[in-house]
Amino acid sequence: MTTTTRAESDGDAVDVVGVTKRYGPLVAVDDVSVRVAPGEVYGILGPNGAGKTTLLRMLFGLIRPDSGTIHVFGRTWAHDGVRTLDHVAGFIESPKFYPYLTGRQNLEGLGLLDGTWDGRALGDRIDEALDVVDLVGREDDRVGGYSYGMRQRLGVAASLLRNPRLLVLDEPANGLDPAGIRDMRALVKRLASNGLTVLLSSHHMDEVEEICDNVTIMSRGSVAFHGTISDLRAMAPDPGHLLRTGDDAQAAAIGHDRHRDVAVEPAPGGGLMVTGPQHELSSFVADLVRAEVPLLAFTPTRTPLEELFFMLTDARSEEVA
Amino acid sequence: MSTTTLTRPDAAAARASGGRTSVGLGAAVRWEARKLRAQLRTKALLVGALLAPVAVVVVVSAQSRPPKDTLFGRFATDNGYAMALLVLGFASQWILPLVTAVVAGDIFASEDQHGTWKTVLTRSVSRSRLFWAKVLVAVVFGLVALVLLAGATIAASLVVVGQSPLTGLSGQTIAPHAALGLVAASWATAAPPLVAISCLAILFSVWSRNAAVGIAGPVVAAMVMQLVGSLGGIEAVRPYLLTTPFEAWHGLLAEPRFTGPLVDGVLTSAVWSVAALAAAYVILRRRDITGG
Ligand SMILES: Nc1ncnc2c1ncn2[C@@H]1O[C@H](COP(=O)(O)OP(=O)(O)OP(=O)(O)O)[C@@H](O)[C@H]1O
Ligand SMILES: [Mg+2]
């Protein structure tokens, strides 16, 4: 038993090579390769319809790729069947349960399907998992009466029950309130610090930036970027700021005349959009003050990484619209 | 039971090493049975299977004029055995198909309705294990419902109408103790076509992903087959209809007894069952789970 475990832990947690999935004429996932090392927190980032969910469904064996291979801890669906998921847990989109059963009954059933026959041990594990996701006290209510966020948390509990080495989460913070998002991120970070490998998908650059080591950015089925968060930071454009003054014309003139590296343009909603390297921005603002232009506001618009995300995924026009 | 017997050392060892084995049919069956027990509809159906026959027997026996045109109808109001056979003839038209289809037609489609395919298929149970577990539970449920219906009908008939020698289909007289055996056997002959109806409901359920279609589909199919069976000039087709085996018990009450239709009925039911299950299995195995 221990030798197989050691052998399995060699190599990648996830190794996706050249995977393609078509729905009729639409190529939902187009020749995507992703490699997740054990212990890593890996983000798959992309706008709606990028193919994140489709990719993760293929990993879980819920849908079959048209071409390409997927290894999970060295196993494949073709060769190992459901044992491919032996060390994997997680959920796709929003987790779903049987509404007529209680939270605990749902977890007990899923424990049965994990092969846990030992009722007492399962009960203890369920208590533990419920405690981690902070659902204690509600576990004997029917899931039909749970809020969206509670179901999301029950989904995490159901995943932890499997004692996985790889946790796959499809937009885990989707639909959660700000406190829920914070808790979810903290939980993922905590689990990762205990050595769990995490593969998560997200719409949000800040989420990926905050918790992931590596990231693949997908756009319309293809990989638009692949690398570490620091690679991504190096590629990021200069930060943009929205400037509001008492005299926009004079402010713009100062920018044009004295600060070649700073772009100053009228912003769509009023005020001025200012982009440029950080130190140039500081001296531009200092000049405005010296020229006694009344300064009302100087606020960053998008973070540079967000800006880069929109550039890579061409989603900018949709976002503005 | 002491707690130590609950702890299986191999399971504990497997957990400790992070290992896991794929789940057997037993666990999947337990889970399916447990979900079924938790549903109000299942309980209502089983209670109904016990109570409805009592009501039917009481109502029919209170009629001043017995339903003469129906098989055994003429004696139903003064002979409990005839009453039990009358109810069997009536129930096999669409009641039995409906009762089995309520569970078999829903057991796959409900996973689509709740979006839970992805929940169960991302654990350690394979699609085929889950398929066979559902089939087993649905078929057993159908048979349990049949046993309850039969038991309740026979008991109510004998209590309400009373027992006396039964006049068979060839006019022969059957003594009460022999009649009881024949009536029970007649009800039992409904089991093979009932299993086939369950399998058909499972196919509708898997294919349509919709419980309404899964439940109504086999009932409508049974009614259509009944209609086709009642037409003249289709003798070549009749043995292959799934409604024909429901009439195979007639041979048991004739003199001399004949069991040819029973054997044919079992074969026909088996062919329908195997074909429906094979189709359902292939559809489920190949399916992309994109919902939920
Ligand atoms: N069952 C399906 N039938 C047809 N097209 C589908 C199906 N599932 C997904 N698609 C298409 O595949 C593409 C990728 O969808 P997918 O759900 O993987 O995107 P996503 O990155 O998860 O998006 P989101 O952020 O909105 O969850 C989309 O264009 C979608 O319309
Ligand atoms: Mg998605």
pLDDT in tens, B53-103: 999 999 988 888 877 778 888 888 889 999 999 999 989 888 999 999 999
pLDDT tens per residue, range B103-138:
999 999 999 999 999 999 999 999 999 999 999 999
pLDDT tens per residue, range B239-265:
889 988 999 999 999 988 898 999 999
Mean pLDDT of chain A: 87
pLDDT reported for residue A300: 81
Q: How far apart are CA B24 and CA B6, in angstroms?
A: 18
A25 Cα–ligand 1 center, Å: 13
Q: Is A81 on the interface with B (CB under 8 A)?
A: yes
Q: What are the boundaries of each domain within chain A?
A: 7-234, 240-302
Query: At residue A301, does pLDDT exceed 80?
Result: no
Query: At residue B153, does pLDDT exceed 80?
Result: yes
pLDDT tens per residue, range A258-279:
888 888 888 777 888 888 888 8
CA within 13 Å, CB half, B118: 28
Decide if B125 and A85 are in contact by the 8 Å CB cutoff: no
Cβ atoms of B205 and B108 closer than 8 Å: yes
Give contacts of A61 with chain B, Cβ < 8 Å: 121
Cβ atoms of B35 and A109 closer than 8 Å: yes
pLDDT reported for residue B20: 60
ipTM of the complex: 0.85
Going by pLDDT thresholds of 50, 70 and 90, the confidence category of residue B31 is: very high
B119 Cα–ligand 2 center, Å: 16
Q: What is the count of residue pairs from A and B with beta carbons less than 8 Å apart?
A: 134
Whole-structure pTM value = 0.85
Q: How far apart are CA A108 and CA B176, in angstroms?
A: 51
Q: What are the boundaries of each domain within chain B?
A: 22-286
Give contacts of A87 with chain B, Cβ < 8 Å: 18, 20
Considering only the top CATH level, what class is A240-302?
alpha beta
**Fold of the domain spanning A7-234:** Rossmann fold (3.40.50)
